[in-house]
Chains A and B, each alone.
Chain A
Amino acid sequence: MTILLSVQGVSKRFGGLQALTNVTFDLPQGQILGLIGPNGAGKTTLFNAINGVFPPEEGRILFREKDVTRAKPYEHAHLGMARTHQIVQPLNDLTVRENVMVGACFGHEQHPLTHAAKIADEVLEFVGLAAKAEQLAGSLNVTQKKRLEMARALAARPYLLLLDEVLAGLNPSEIDGMIQTILKIREKGITIIMIEHLMKAVMNVSDRIIVLDYGQQIAEGSPEEIAKNEKVIEAYLGDPKLAEQLLEEE
């Protein structure tokens, strides 16, 4: 199994806040890795470190065996990494198609304009936004903007896709649709890391899960292992024994 991404001892500090401490994992090609943890655990910070938005102070990040720790976000994009944003970042005054063309033109494969337009139409069809291609991106609703984020990332035809809470704020039927889309992306052979709060979804689609709490990697394993892990339950629910103790004292 080839290792696509290798994160080795990555630490990141913002002033007095230790946002990430010694995060280490290897991601084999073709897997879906779930990244979970309470709010403020450092999940998005880890994404920002992986794709060069905020390079880490310590540790190394290898992508396809290249050291990309200090590379700029556009260099990551050229190497075949693409991401979506938790807070959607549409290019409002451009059309939906033009938004997606940016990904195809400047991302991993660097297509010329005419070819990029074709790719954009294919990808928009795939994520279900084909009917909106001519609209301005600013006029989409949140669900559609999330799909647009995904389309832009896919248009680059990346090796690795970083999905930051693409399910947040969607209704149950939209969530099912989006999960189907994510599974279809994996079928194309694209490796995925997804940050997600929605347990049902993340447990269902992930091959492996990493749990972050206060910037520390507190658990790692298959969805079943994570569901039973005491540390994880504690991080999410507080100390489970505390509740039992309190009941016994009554």
Chain B
Amino acid sequence: MNAWKKHLGIVLPLLTVTALALWPVVTDNPANRESVFTILKAVALASSLNILLGYTGYVSFGHIVFYGFGGYVGIYLLTEKGWSLGEALLAGGVASGLLALLLGSAILRLRGAYFALATIGVNEAMRAFINNFELFGGPTGITLKFSVYKEYGGAAQALQTAFYIGAGLALLALILSYMVRSSKFGLGLLAIRENEDAAEVMGVVTPRAKTWAYVLSAIIPGMVGVLFFFKNGNVEPHDAFPLHSSIELLVMVMLGGQGTVFGPILGAFAYQGMRGYLVTSPVFKDIQLSVSGVLLLVIVLFIPAGAIGWLRHRIPPLRRLLA
């Protein structure tokens, strides 16, 4: 009972995402499945970004680089080396984790706006590099051979499988996020977010903690990249490193509540819902990104803690439930 109470904070996130994932299965509707997949993908990416943005306080404008890079590595291994989807997913995660380890030791010395700018630079540099990297197909990218899907019972069945894996990755991201949040390592990250110099004086080994936070925030995006491009059938530089997606992820985390486990779920759900409405609305369809820009501005100005942060602040008894 006590252990159950202690970990109340993870219950609501897991239940919400499980319910979300079961909805298209129960209704047996492929259209629902696709929209839910988009939300699950956003949940996995936003929850991962939250480890860096929400817990550690480092704003990354280029987090999508891990999604693109992991995706490329996985799809390459899948098509050219004949690896299975499972192996490719792991490889994509490992590749992105290693990239973060390498980048982190270089750019995590920077703070605030300088770090944010560096992350944009990294994303653009990676896109330019992949564009000219013949092994990964240069500007045309890599296209999956249709025969790859045969192993997974044909294209239709492969889509279904990809959906389940997507749900699994979203749940994994939540569990990782919660484990970080409730660990000693996580307390060190929160201390860095609040005051890096004070944290260092109190004994937090800040360079190491920040690098690990960066690595942990990169692994699942790498896996999600592999899964998405597997489902998509091809990967191109343009689709793998979209800067605007990085910004959309920031909006989701900020909207739902940075630094909370449940916030990114709410943010991903709300933002994808809004986006779905905007891109189909005749008035907003061309300016949907401006709407998210305005939204970000409004959040930062009026509710910087996001929806969950605001609720936690207003209604203290909810703190236990909304970790």
Closest chain A CB from B93 CB (angstroms): 27
Give the CA-CA distance A110 to B198 in the complex, in Å: 16
Per-residue CB contact flags for chain A residues 68-106 toward chain B (1 = under 8 Å, else 0) read 000011100110001101000111111000100111011
User: Which range holds the interface residue count of chain A?
Assistant: 20 to 34
Where the two chains meet, the residues of B that have a C-beta atom closer than 8 Å to any C-beta of A are 183-184, 187-188, 190-191, 193-195, 197-206, 259
Cβ 8 A contact of A94, one of B191, B197, B200, B205:
B191
Give the CA-CA distance A119 to B205 in the complex, in Å: 21
B200 and A102 contact, CB distance less than 8 A: no
A77 and B201 contact, CB distance less than 8 A: yes
A77 and B191 contact, CB distance less than 8 A: no
- A-B pairs with lowest CB-CB distance, top 8: A77-B203, A91-B194, A106-B203, A89-B198, A107-B203, A73-B200, A102-B191, A106-B204
Q: Which residues of A sit under 8 angstroms from B259, Cβ to Cβ?
A: 93
A89 and B183 contact, CB distance less than 8 A: no
Given A91-B194, A91-B195, are A102 and B201 also a contact pair (CB < 8 Å)? no
Cβ 8 A contact of A74, one of B194, B195, B203:
B203
Cβ 8 A contact of A105, one of B184, B198, B200:
B184
B183 and A102 contact, CB distance less than 8 A: no
Q: Which residues of A sit under 8 angstroms from B200, Cβ to Cβ?
A: 72-74
Q: Which residues of A sit under 8 angstroms from B205, Cβ to Cβ?
A: 74, 106
Q: Which residues of B sit under 8 angstroms from A113, Cβ to Cβ?
A: 183-184, 187
Closest chain B CB from A145 CB (angstroms): 12
Closest chain B CB from A225 CB (angstroms): 33
**Does A43 lie at the interface of the complex (its beta carbon under 8 Å from any beta carbon of B)?**
no
Cβ 8 A contact of B202, one of A53, A72, A106, A112:
A106
Give the CA-CA distance A55 to B139 in the complex, in Å: 50
Closest chain B CB from A224 CB (angstroms): 34
Return the chain A residue nearest B259 by Cβ.
A93
